Amino acid sequence: MLTYSSIFYYTASVQIFVTGLFVVNSLMHYRKVKEFASLLVYGVLSLVQCFIGTYISIYTQHDPKSDTIIQNSINVFMLFEFLIFSQVIISSVRSRSIKRTLGMAVAVFLVTVLYCWLFTAAFNKPPESLSVLESFLVIIGCLLYYFEMFTSPPNIKLLQHPRFWFITGMLLLFAFLLPLFLQGNNDLLNFTDLFNAVYMMNLIGYTILFIFFTIGMRCQIRRSIS
């Protein structure tokens, strides 16, 4: 317990605080931000995942059953994360061809996830390959959004547009985490100090994500008032 607390106490606490702030702010102004209700659901799921991971890491270390539970929860969270992010990206682009392409990517990802869960033991292990695939697909979706935004810009002030902040946060998160996913969790587990550093970077990445999400929601609130 002391080891976990001394290493991750501050970064985990900051992530939980920032994520909680996003959820509370969104709930307080739900009528103004209900267009992005899926991101509010994502914020709640992120908080639940934070608490599950923190509790198990502190109180049930080296318990195989607890390790299985945390891996199951990570896999489920990853799937919902991809679906929610994809929904936001697809609804943000205007081109029908890009929407169809992204829709096909979602279908491929779903089939891949279900195959891995049903026909391998992937559901009980860290989603290494699936996280890499998720990262590539989300990054590609974000870049297609930017391509459309800058080749045929809409008549909006970009920095006041909530979708710009949401998608920028997604892009930064996965650009930040993809090199870590490519390392492979099993390799990292053999090097405790490196694993701790990577886990801390993961917490920092999601903290940055929810800062951008909060800015985006504030933009949406201001747009609804004006």
Task: Write out pLDDT tens, residues 103-130.
Answer: 999 999 999 999 999 999 899 888 888 9
pTM for the full model? Answer: 0.90
Q: What is the pLDDT of residue 103?
A: 97
CA distance 89 to 187: 32
Mean pLDDT (the chain, rounded): 86
Q: Which domains does the chain have, with CATH numbers?
A: 2-225 (1.20.1070)
Rg of the chain over Cα atoms, rounded to whole angstroms, equals: 18
- For range 4-12, the mean pLDDT: 60
Residue with the bigger pLDDT between 17 and 226: it is 17
Is 80 exceeded by the pLDDT of residue 64?
no
Residues with Cβ within 8 Å of 205's Cβ and at least 6 positions away in sequence, in order, are 172, 173, 176, 177
